[in-house]
Amino acid sequence: MKTTRTRRDFINTTAMAGAGLGLGIGKTLAATSSPVTPSANQVPKRGIPSWPTFDQREDQALLEVLHSGNWGRTRGHKVEDFERAYAQMTGAKHCVATSAGTTALLTAFGALGVGPGDEVILPVYTFVATFNAITAGYALPVFVDTDPETFQIDAKKIPAAITRSTKVILPVHIGGSPADLDAIGSLSKARGIHVIEDACQAWVAQWRGRGVGNTSLAGCFSFQASKNLTAGEGGAIVTNDEEFADKCFNFQNQGGGRRATGSGRGANLRLTEFQGGLLLAQMTRLEEQSRIREQNAAYLTKLLGEISGIKPARWHDGCTRNAYHLYMFRYQKEHFANLPRAKFLQALSQEGIPASGGYTPLNASPHVRSLAKNPCYQKVYGKETMSQWEERNQCPVNDQLCTEAVWFTQPVLLTVRPEMDRIAETIRKVQKRAPEFTKA
Ligand SMILES: Cc1ncc(COP(=O)(O)O)c(C=O)c1O
């Protein structure tokens, strides 16, 4: 049985370099990394930096909130300041902060009135939180297969997944690269279906020069610990629809606070003032860090594109900025003497290049599959619909992609250019010695 891998699993996998695949061309990760010390915010001279980065800006922000005694947003102004700054950065008219990316999605669904009987279309190549945000309100998730070139939802396959019950299309900008928002926007208009973007990995990403979240009803972001903009946890919704923003505000604030028709639903999903302060401090270096990632990623793509059997993820034509939460490529083992991907990852890891195989098929995870037997779902949708649901969710292209994908997480790009040369050189050396590694 395949299982969905958590962030912790990825870390375990990449850290568990086995014996016998050392290339001997570098030192181990521990030796080559030069962790950024808490007080530093410059890129390291070599190696992969630790994450997050912080300095006296964060110290000051946290101490200011601490000493103000205004620790929650009901009394302070840091969260509101952050909402204004984040709306401005993304180009949206409104921003509502939430306690997490998952709760940003929950809030957007709550504000839109998505609930039992509604279907939500999502890509199968995503983090489990996308699915959980849908099922928290008893809507039915409907998976769509992946475009292997871009790793994003295959927009051509969305029409076949639409039914009379489809309420929302939820594209995910996986890795920070926007899904095909032109195709999804056209479908939305033609079929009268709302689009909410899961932009939890896509803070600075742009589609035809506009920040993600601006071409649809809303975009939802995450500021969880691994993210390029982080407060440990946190989230936000951006939208250009004032009434929708008010509804989102009320939903994350126990149902009230702003002018908007109530729905009888809501919760405390508020961001704290400490997180608001931290995010404002983190935002002061987001642009510079994003540029470093973009430059390194562009250079790495050029280098890796020259290696047979390595296929960097392509951008959709409308993508004008990639937030690079992940650097993703396909590893085709036929070009590496059939060296299994796990051994390829191991070889990189032993040379101080942390890499993972990314997501396993979400539709095959025990957590997701158990929805078919969930008594509440059987009550709302009927036993027959739920027993056919798994069949409806087959995604064969994604199954294949999940066997080939390789990820570098964002800190790998937040370093100096020679590190990109080192990555490409290491992959070339693995390729050269693949016949011997395959036998090992
Ligand atoms: C694609 C995607 N959606 C949703 C989430 C949920 O965000 P959070 O962890 O802040 O709840 C994440 C976070 O990892 C994500 O990567």
Decide which of 350 and 21 is more confident.
350
Closest CA to 86 of 178, 197, 212, 181: 212
Please spell the DSSP secondary structure of 44-75, one letter per residue: PSSSPPPS----HHHHHHHHHHHHH---BTTT
The pLDDT value recorded for residue 47 is 86
| Per-residue confidence band for 34, with pLDDT thresholds at 50, 70 and 90 | very low
User: How far is the C-alpha of 210 from the C-alpha of 422, rounded, in Å?
Assistant: 34
Q: Which atom of ligand 1 is nearest to the CA of 104?
A: 11
Percent of the chain with pLDDT over 70: 90
Closest CA to 126 of 13, 213, 4: 4
The pLDDT value recorded for residue 440 is 77
CA–centroid distance, 333 to ligand 1, in Å, is: 30
Q: Which atom of ligand 1 is nearest to the CA of 7?
A: 14
**HEC sequence for 72-100:** ECCCCCHHHHHHHHHHHHHCCCEEEEECC
Tell me if 100 CB under 6 Å of ligand 1. yes
Q: Which atom of ligand 1 is nearest to the CA of 235?
A: 10
User: How far is the C-alpha of 71 from the C-alpha of 62, rounded, in Å?
Assistant: 10
The pLDDT value recorded for residue 21 is 57
Give the C-alpha distances (Å, rounded to integers) separating 212 from 126, 155, 173: 17, 17, 9
* Model confidence pLDDT, tens digit, residues 67-119: 999 999 999 999 999 999 999 999 999 999 999 999 999 999 999 999 999 99
Tell me if 358 CB under 6 Å of ligand 1. no
Tell me if 198 CB under 6 Å of ligand 1. yes
In this structure, what are the phi and psi dihedrals at residue 315, rounded to the nearest 5 degrees? Answer: -95, 150
3-state secondary structure of 162: coil
User: How far is the C-alpha of 263 from the C-alpha of 373, rounded, in Å?
Assistant: 29
Closest CA to 409 of 286, 327, 295: 327
CA–centroid distance, 241 to ligand 1, in Å, is: 23
For residues 268 and 74, is the Cβ–Cβ distance under 8 A? Answer: no
User: How far is the C-alpha of 363 from the C-alpha of 377, rounded, in Å?
Assistant: 16
19-33, 239-253, 317-331: least confident range: 19-33
Decide which of 241 and 38 is more confident.
241
Pocket residue to mutate for ligand 1, from 8, 125, 222, most atoms within 8 A of Cβ:
222
Tell me if 152 CB under 6 Å of ligand 1. no
Tell me if 126 CB under 6 Å of ligand 1. yes
* Model confidence pLDDT, tens digit, residues 364-418: 999 999 999 999 999 999 999 999 999 999 999 999 999 999 999 999 999 999 9
Provide the β-strand partners of residue 331: 310
The C-alpha angle with vertex 22 and arms to 19 and 294, in degrees rounded to 5, equals 115
Percent of the chain with pLDDT over 90: 87
* Model confidence pLDDT, tens digit, residues 193-242: 999 999 999 999 999 999 999 999 999 999 999 999 999 999 999 999 99
Closest CA to 135 of 380, 360, 361: 380
Pocket residue to mutate for ligand 1, from 102, 359, 362, most atoms within 8 A of Cβ:
102
Domains and CATH numbers, the chain: 7-50+286-359+400-439 (3.90.1150.10), 56-279 (3.40.640.10)
